[in-house]
Structures are given as structure tokens and as C-alpha cells.
Amino acid sequence: MGFKNPLAALFGRKEQKASAAAPLLVQWGAGQPRFTPRQYDQLAREAYQKNVIAYRCIRLVSQNAATVPWIVYRGKGENRTRLEDHPLKSLLENPNPMQGGAELFEALFGFYLIAGNSYLEAVGAAGAPPRELWTLRPDRMRVIPGKHGVPIAYRYQIGGEAMDFPVDALTGASAVLHLKSFHPLDDWYGMSPLESAAASIDQHNDAARWNAALLQAGGRPSGALVYKPVHPDGTATLTDEQRQALKSELEAFFQGPDNAGRPLVLEGGLDWRDMSLSPKDMDWLAGKDVSAREIALAFHVPPQLIGIEGSLTFANFEQARLALFDDAVIPLLDHVKDELNKWLCPAFGEDLSIGYDVDAIEAFAPRREKAWARICNADFMTVNEKRVALGLSPLEGGDVLPHAGGKA
């Protein structure tokens, strides 16, 4: 099956050499859609919808990353200028009629954290910059591998309807941007953090279900009734009628949350034996906290931010917030920024680049204050050197070094 890319003129086409090992990536099934190694719907259902810890971690990272404003620059190095009014900046802030910029990128980051893959579609006329951006659900997307290590298309399928987005074999340009995390065993799809935390998520969900079942049947005795005949010559077994009557009485008067705590009245010959471990014996609460910490660890989220008590990793909440951005949010923003610069910027001009406003991150305020104080007190720097270090433009006459011991 052949694919033509009508957006080649939009994203540019440049000759480039192919990897010598790339053809080895497709041993069979070239041109056929490759299915994801994990079922996205199961990951989303068991983790995001049913597990409060995974839900909290994904929301923390995606929402905080989506609040950081994007910046459009023209030029490079010292000649780089920030553009406040540009079609690319407007597109990032208002990507489509149904979503604002923060909502679209929160969905983009959320898909990435749940599935390890996220897709962004650029909509526009051929040969013109895109006018809209839309996120596409990962479970509906299939990568169609090519013979040279580059997909020949992305197939988006809903029910029996499918649409192919062709990919330029030389440049990899396409109307669809595929964001994927590192996967050590797959050449076409990324690996979700939920995969490494799957066992912990199952344990945490099982603990929650066990607790719910315990509350719903809190009055049901957990153990066994042992019948011993009162008289030495009596039979050691109950008749069917006696067994059924005893079972019905237990269900009616001692089972269910409304009967919790009701004392069990035994007649002669009946003895109660506890056959279960208590939550204390099972160390249930501690085990649930361990699972929650492991889930948070997979997303680089400090335990303090998901409500786990007793964590000694961070001295206070402020440091935990700072660690969240350092370990989770900033790496995610860097990854998306690089992909947007490669995929989206060329459609608007060769001299443009996308960045994000670090100064808008409130968690970094204490760190910025310390950096500003060190720069302002640096006697070995001129006024203009200090201004450049702070991201400000130089001033006339500001290249004179202050006197030793003085302040500029």
C-alpha cells in the first residue's frame, strides 16, 4: 500500500541518509498496523479511574506542566528575541475551538503518562501553517511501520472507520506528532510508567477492595463454628436441617454492616474458632502505604504531595513541590518542547523556536530569589553582565566594572 504525504510542503522535505540498521526493525508486516504492546483501556481503567494514587500523580504532573506558559522566540543565542504577538504563539494558546492551550496540553501530558504515547494532530491547508491542534486518543492510533525504520503512516481508527496520516519517508514529517517515552523492548511505541507500577497498583486496589468488603460485611464473623456433642454418646455431626437453620440465622442476625459488633450467641455444643488474620496482623495499612509510595516513585512524585504520612524524604512541602518540577514536570516539558520545535516550528519559519517560561513557575520562586541575590552581590560582574544573566537587555554605560567591595 502506498502513501502520499500532502503535508510535505507544509513541514518541509530534506534529503537525509537512512540508518543502516533501520531496515532490521521491520522483520515482517511492513505496511501493516502494529498494535500497542499494552491495552491502553486497561491501564486507564485500573490505574487512572480506580486508583486514587495513580490518578493523583498523573493529575499533579499533567496539570502543573500545562500551567507553564509557552514562549515563541525569533533568532538564536544573544540575538534571540521573545515574540509576544505571533501566529505560532496564538496557536499554542488557542489550539482549537473546543479547548484552550492549558486544557489541550493537560490532555497531551495525561495521555503520555498513562499510555507512554501521545498524539497531536495539526490541521491546516497544504502549504500553509496549521490553524488548529487536536489531541488524539492513544488507544485509537496504530503505527504502520515502514521498511527504513520510519513509520509510513499513523492510522486512527474508531469502530469500522479509519483514517491514515502519511509520514514522509525522508524527513519523518507528518500531520501527526507522536510523543513517546523510552521503551527498551519496543521500536515503535513508548512505555507507560504504569507498567512498572502495575504490581503496586494491583496491590493497592486489592487492599481498597478488601477494606470495602470488610466494611460492607463488617458484622459477619470470620471463622468457623465447630459442633461438639454435649453428651459423650451423641453424634458429632449436624443434620442438614440443623446446618441450614444455623446458616440462615447467622446471615440474618450477624452478617452485614448493620449487624457489626452484635455478639454471637452460641448454644450448647457450638464453639467459635477465629480462622482469619486481623488487619493489624497483616500489617495492612503499612502495606498499602508501601504500594502508594511505589506508585508515586514511578511518576517521580514526592510522597508528601499524595498524602502519605511519615515520609522523611523532604523537610517541608516547599521542597517537595520543587522536587516535583525538577524530577517530573521540567523533563516532560523539555521533551515536548524539543518535539514541537522539530515538528511545528518549521511550518511558521526557519528562524523560530519554542520555549517555556521558567520564571512563571511559582515553585521556583525561592530558587530565583537566591540566584538574583548572588548575581546582584557579585562584585566581579558589570551591570550589563548581571542584566544579561537575569535575562534583561543591556544598558548604555553598563559595561564598567564596579570598584572592589562595591555593589553595581
> How remote is the C-alpha of 246 from its chain's centroid?
52
Q: How many other CB atoms sit within 10 Å of the CB of residue 378?
A: 15
Sequence-distant (6+) residues with CB within 8 A of 261 are 219
- Domain spans, the chain: 1-197+299-362, 217-278
Alpha-carbon span 166 to 174, nearest angstrom? 6
pLDDT band of residue 364 (cuts 50, 70, 90) is confident
pLDDT at 165 over 80: yes
| DSSP alpha helix (H) spans, 299-376 | 317-324, 330-343, 365-376
Alpha-carbon span 26 to 152, nearest angstrom? 12
Q: Which region holds residue 12: left if phi is over 0, alpha if psi is between -120 and 50, else beta?
A: left
Are the CB atoms for 143 and 188 separated by under 8 Å? yes
- Helices and strands (DSSP H and E) totals, the chain: 14, 11
Alpha-carbon span 403 to 408, nearest angstrom? 9
pLDDT at 27 over 70: no
Q: Please report the pLDDT score of residue 400 as a whole number.
A: 78
User: Cell digits for 4?
Assistant: 502520499
Mean pLDDT of 203-211: 80
pLDDT band of residue 104 (cuts 50, 70, 90) is very high
Mean pLDDT of 208-225: 63
More confident residue, 233 or 205: 205
pLDDT at 366 over 60: yes
pLDDT at 267 over 60: no
DSSP characters over 108-152? HHHHHHHHSEEEEEEE--TTS--SEEEEE-GGGEEEE--TTSS-S
Q: What is the pLDDT of residues 374-395, one digit of tens each?
A: 777 777 788 777 777 766 677 7
Alpha-carbon span 112 to 181, nearest angstrom? 8
Q: What is the pLDDT of residues 296-332, one digit of tens each?
A: 999 999 988 887 765 555 567 888 889 999 999 999 9
Q: Please report the pLDDT score of residue 141 as a whole number.
A: 92
Measured torsion, CA atoms of residues 43, 44, 50, 52, in degrees rounded to the nearest 10 = 100
More confident residue, 380 or 31: 380
Mean pLDDT of 142-161: 89
Q: What share of the chain is helix, strand, coil (3-state, %, to 5)?
A: 45, 15, 40
pTM of the model: 0.74
Q: What is the CA radius of gyration of the chain?
A: 31
Q: Mean pLDDT in the chain?
A: 79
pLDDT at 271 over 70: no
Fill in the DSSP letter of residue 49. Answer: I
